[in-house]
Copies of this chain bind each other. A is one copy, B any other.
Amino acid sequence: MSEPKLPTVNKNVSKDGRLDIQNPHLTDMDEDVLYHIALSNKTHDLKDMFGDVKFVCFGGSPNRMRAFAEYLVPELKIKIPAGQTLCNIAHGSDRYVLYKVGPVISVSHGMGIPSLSIIFHEIVKLVHHAGCRDVVFFRLGTSGGLGLEPGSVVITDEAVDGLLRPYMDLVILGKVVQHSSQLDPGLQQELLSLANLQKDNYQTLVGKTMCTLDFYEGQARLDGAFCDYTQKDKMAFLNQAYNHGIRNIEMESLCFAAYCHRAGIRGAVICVTLLDRLKGDQITTPHSVMEQWQTRPQKLVVAYIKQKLGIQ
């Protein structure tokens, strides 16, 4: 397998491609327990286990991230010896699942920013302890679309919060700190070019993504347990978002983008849309169709990975 050549873009990445971790306290610690994935740099040889990782793929659902790992095996021409199988490396915890297939980690992040935040911290520390170089992060997700045919794929160019602001508020030591949620434009264009090559029967586009702290009221749905607004209020807000350039709505991109930016990691968010929120709230598409749609971001990321690894 040839060494992938990935340009580094951020001052936070050191010259040899290793992550410069943004926490001086870590070097003073005897042991670092990655609690939510049940690993530690003392009880596990993280360099040996993960040193060759080049791509980390995050997604909300544990089943989907296992399926993605299984999909990677033939695509990356990985040979698993007879009598062996993929396993969930984080099996000591039931908070997330974590698979490794060649140079790719497939990890679940649960739902919402706080759940993503925890696993992002622990994966960055894992990548750091393992001494990985030039790692690229992807979030492969599902979302509600705005003005798009359901099943369309959105590559996020900017993540905004529920107030349409392109940064993330973090509350640290009783103060609000803001971090830019800018993502890597070069990576977006690389992905879009690959999508255009694939001649799919669905649309893949670059657009803004709104990231909310709630699925119901936060996304202007009328079908939650609480709702104090009208259909007209809802449509006014969704149209405002559309006019702002927002093409889909989900619950993790803001944190993913802000943390990638802080860590100096090239990252991309690729989400399929399960419905058009300008037309409704409820997700009623048959399960089997949605299952198929959910492989679309995976297919694009696999094409990218194969290109970088020189696999035909």
Contact = CB atoms under 8 A, between A and B. Distances in A.
A103 interface: no
A225 B120 contact: yes
Interface string A17-44: 0000111111001011101100000000
A90 interface: no
A213 interface: yes
Given A95-B61, A95-B111, A218 B29 contact: no
A125 B35 contact: no
A172 B217 contact: yes
A121 interface: yes
A150 interface: no
A121 B23 contact: no
Interface stretch (A163-171, A187-195, A296-304): A163-171
A174 B220 CA distance: 9
| Chain A interface size, under 10 / 10 to 19 / 20 to 34 / 35 or more | 35 or more
Interface stretch (A1-9, A77-85, A201-209, A233-241): A233-241
A311 interface: no
30 contacts: A22-B226, A22-B228, A23-B222, A23-B226, A25-B227, A26-B223, A33-B283, A63-B94, A92-B287, A110-B110, A110-B111, A110-B112, A110-B115, A112-B112, A112-B113, A112-B114, A113-B114, A114-B212, A114-B213, A114-B251, A117-B214, A117-B218, A118-B215, A121-B225, A125-B224, A128-B225, A171-B214, A172-B229, A173-B236, A226-B259
Interface of A: 21-26, 29, 31-33, 35-36, 60-64, 92, 94-95, 110-115, 117-118, 120-122, 124-125, 128, 161-164, 170-174, 176, 212-218, 220, 222-229, 231, 233-234, 236-237, 240, 251, 259, 262-263, 282-284, 287
Given A62-B94, A112-B117, A117-B213, 7 more contacts: A22-B228, A23-B224, A33-B282, A120-B225, A122-B225, A170-B213, A173-B236
